[in-house]
Amino acid sequence: MRQIKAKEIEDTVAQLCLEANRNLPKDVLLAIKESIGKERGRPKRILEKIIENCSLAKKEKLPLCQDTGLPIVFIDIGQKLKVKGDLEKAINRGIKRGYQKGYFRNSIVHPLWRDNPQSIPAVIHFNISSGNKIKIALMPKGFGSENASVTYMFNPTATIDEIGDWVIKIVKEKGADACPPLFIGIGIGGSLDKAVLLSKQALLLPLNKENPQASLATLEQKFLRRINKLGIGPLGLGGKTTALRVRILAHPTHIAGLPVALNLSCWALRRARKKLT
């Protein structure tokens, strides 16, 4: 059986922290750049400032945003692979090292006592798959947009338009405070927890690839058009670009229910991934 040392995972996670917090992924950067051409006046100038910030962060090795987020780790381990050492500890050690090295902010506290901020523990989602590889994705999630995220248990007879109306209502209520232009992850189906997880995984989908489920791709476009008619715009100061992309993931659910979760991301959709083979 193939083996991998926990230390290798630790080193990879540390590297992903630096990468994610300093360099916006190419697909995200491209989506922002493409939107500049659609705007004029103030919204256009704001989008240009955002791009300027990204270039500066990369050049000066600074975090894009002072909120270097709550580190969320998606780790997929092949069942034919044996990890030598403590996997969870290795992930957290990697994050601690990466955040120290990058001079990133410690934003993690006990939810009630709220003292002594640290960079860990991360929220970790483990997945076991076939094969002998390990895939790690890191998403440092800022809480300006996480706070604007919501889930709702719909009636199973709810129509797609009703779900759309709810999405629009939430974005209208909370979008302006979540650092628009936004990326919007929607999870539909499963259980309460599954829908929420899907909404976050939807934000991990590469933006240059269409949704493999054609009907969901159509729905993404439909929701995006409606959201961009709201006129919230960059920074919430008006404009055509309220959201840059909507991504939807679906999972079978119970005959009695229809859970839907909405995970908003600010324009700085930070994520980095690596496959260890």
Partner 1 sequence: MIHLETPLTLTKIRKLRVGDEVLINGIIYTARDQAHIKKLPFPLKGQIIYYCGPAPTPPGKIIGSCGPTTSSRMDRFTPLLLKKGLKGMLGKGRRSEEVIRAIKKYKAIYLITFGGCGALLSTFVRRKELVAYPELGAEAVYRLDVENFPAIVAVDCYGKDIWSKNARKSTR
Q: Are 14 and 272 a contacting pair, CB within 8 Å?
A: no
CA-closest candidate to residue 145, choices 181, 197, 92, 107 = 181
Which residues of this protein are in contact with partner 1, per CB under 8 A?
Answer: 46, 49-50, 52-53, 56-57, 60-68, 103-107, 114-117, 142, 144, 147, 176-179, 229-231, 233, 235-238, 266-268
Nearer to partner 1, 62 or 204 (CB): 62
Nearer to partner 1, 123 or 237 (CB): 237
| Beta carbon of residue 59, minimum distance to partner 1 (angstroms, whole number) | 9
CA-closest candidate to residue 31, choices 264, 250, 244 = 244
Structure tokens that stand for 247 in this block: 């991504």
| Beta carbon of residue 64, minimum distance to partner 1 (angstroms, whole number) | 6
Nearer to partner 1, 25 or 144 (CB): 144
Nearer to partner 1, 37 or 60 (CB): 60
> Rounded distance, CA 1 to CA 67, Å?
41
> Rounded distance, CA 261 to CA 167, Å?
9
| Beta carbon of residue 259, minimum distance to partner 1 (angstroms, whole number) | 26
Compute and round to an integer the Cα radius of gyration of the chain. Answer: 19
CA-closest candidate to residue 266, choices 229, 235, 230 = 235
236-253 as b/e: b if 16+ CB within 10 A: eebbbbbbbbbbbbbeeb
Nearer to partner 1, 66 or 277 (CB): 66
Nearer to partner 1, 194 or 271 (CB): 271
| Beta carbon of residue 120, minimum distance to partner 1 (angstroms, whole number) | 14
Peptide bond into 206 cis (omega under 30): no
Nearer to partner 1, 26 or 229 (CB): 229
| Beta carbon of residue 100, minimum distance to partner 1 (angstroms, whole number) | 9
Q: Are 167 and 223 a contacting pair, CB within 8 Å?
A: yes
Nearer to partner 1, 56 or 123 (CB): 56
| Beta carbon of residue 123, minimum distance to partner 1 (angstroms, whole number) | 19
CA dihedral (98, 100, 103, 109) positive or negative:
positive
| Beta carbon of residue 154, minimum distance to partner 1 (angstroms, whole number) | 25
| Beta carbon of residue 243, minimum distance to partner 1 (angstroms, whole number) | 15
Residues 6+ away with beta carbon under 8 Å from 120: 71, 92, 95, 96, 108
Q: Are 20 and 54 a contacting pair, CB within 8 Å?
A: no
